[in-house]
Amino acid sequence: MLKIIAWFKRIPVFLREVKDELKKVNWSSRKELTGAAIIVVVVSAVLTVYIAIIDMGLSKGLQTFIK
C-alpha cells in the first residue's frame, strides 16, 4: 500500500520534469513541417508506384512460368 502512495506522490514531480523538458524542445516551424509532410507524401507515392510495378512484373512472370 505504501508503494502505491509513494508512486502517486511522484506524479507531480514527473509532470514538472516533463514541463521543464518540453521547454527545451526545438519546435519546428509551420513551413518546415509543411515541407517535410510534402516530402513524405511524394516519397510514399513514388514507392507505392515502384512496388506496384515490381508486383505486376513478378505476377506476370510467375503466370508465364506456371503456364
Determine the Cα–Cα distance for residues 61 and 58; give it in Å rounded to an integer. 5
Distance separating alpha carbons of residues 8 and 6, to the nearest angstrom: 5
Q: What is the DSSP letter of 26?
A: -
10 Å Cβ neighbour count for 7? 9
Q: What is the pLDDT of residue 14?
A: 94
User: pLDDT grade, residue 3 (50/70/90)?
Assistant: confident
Question: Predicted confidence band at 19 (pLDDT cuts at 50, 70, 90)?
Answer: very high
pLDDT at 5: 86
pTM of the model: 0.61
